[in-house]
């Protein structure tokens, strides 16, 4: 699987994209339901894909890189964590998700030198025991309704932020819908959620327009 952002740039991995790809492979008869692997720029990922219901993907190790970061939007600044899920994330915590305001422009993240190729920025409100609201600004795409690698980064950051321990399960609510992240004692994350095909597209139509 190769994944491209809205601006055409390549991303190392996309947790929601790989689940949609797996759903496509099963629904179109290219792959039987069950457990199978897809190779990505972040290595081989194993998925559990039933004919119906939620798809789970083992996202691999989520890493706390150790640096403290800040993200600012419209003059407001929040503290957070530098997390890697094969791609870079800055996860910051807010009192209320509504406080973030507009994410039309990319948040300013510091220190800038630790993200030479840009960064996905997650804004997190812990709403209840192991439940989270989240918004995300993705590099190369802007604000999106969900981010699979982002939810995994958020799950580890929330574990650190709440001074709890692994293993942990977090239920995360980005605007696009509910996802569940399980992190084992070694910080390996499994992402579970729905994937639904909504439209058939012939890419040659777009190539002709270009």
Domain identity same for 43 and 68: no
Domain identity same for 159 and 178: yes
Q: Whole-angstrom Cα distance, residue 148 to residue 57?
A: 10
Q: Whole-angstrom Cα distance, residue 203 to residue 94?
A: 40
Q: In terms of residue numbers, what domain contains 41?
A: 3-59+195-209
Domain identity same for 8 and 107: no
Beta-carbon neighbour count of residue 98 at 10 Å? 10
Domain identity same for 201 and 174: no
Residue-level pLDDT at 210: 59
Q: Is the Cβ–Cβ distance between 184 and 167 less than 8 Å?
A: yes
Q: Whole-angstrom Cα distance, residue 88 to residue 11?
A: 10
Residue-level pLDDT at 5: 82
Tens of pLDDT along the chain (210 residues) come to 998 888 888 888 888 889 999 999 999 999 999 999 999 998 999 999 999 899 999 999 999 999 999 999 999 999 999 999 989 999 999 999 999 999 999 999 999 899 998 999 999 999 988 999 999 999 989 999 999 999 999 999 999 999 999 999 999 999 999 999 999 999 999 999 999 999 888 888 777 765
Among 186, 196, 86, 179, which residue's Cα sits nearest to residue 132? 179
- Considering the candidates 3, 11, 13, 14, report the single residue annotated as catalytic: 14
Residue-level pLDDT at 204: 83
Domain identity same for 86 and 43: no
Q: Whole-angstrom Cα distance, residue 36 to residue 93?
A: 35
Domain identity same for 101 and 179: yes
Q: Is 152 a catalytic residue?
A: no
- Considering the candidates 21, 147, 179, 195, report the single residue annotated as catalytic: 147
């Amino acid at each position: 699987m190769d994944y491209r952002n809205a601006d055409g740039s390549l991303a190392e991995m996309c947790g929601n994209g790989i689940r949609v790809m797996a759903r496509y492979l099963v629904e179109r008869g290219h792959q039987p339901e069950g457990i199978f692997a897809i190779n990505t720029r972040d290595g081989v990922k194993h998925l559990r894909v039933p004919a119906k219901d939620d798809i789970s993907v083992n996202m691999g190790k989520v890493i706390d890189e150790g640096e403290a970061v800040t993200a600012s939007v419209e003059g407001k600044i929040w503290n957070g964590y530098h997390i890697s899920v094969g791609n870079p994330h800055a996860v910051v915590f807010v009192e209320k998700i509504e406080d973030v305001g507009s994410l039309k422009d990319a948040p300013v993240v510091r220190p800038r030198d630790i993200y030479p190729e840009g960064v996905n920025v997650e804004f997190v409100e812990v709403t209840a025991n192991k439940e989270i609201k989240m918004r995300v600004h993705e590099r190369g795409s802007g604000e999106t309704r969900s981010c699979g690698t982002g939810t995994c980064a958020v799950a580890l950051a929330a574990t650190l932020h709440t001074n709890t321990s692994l293993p942990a399960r977090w239920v995360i609510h980005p605007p696009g819908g509910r996802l569940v992240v399980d992190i084992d004692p070694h910080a390996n994350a499994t992402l579970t959620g729905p994937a639904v095909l909504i439209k058939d597209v012939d890419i040659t139509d777009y190539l002709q327009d270009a």
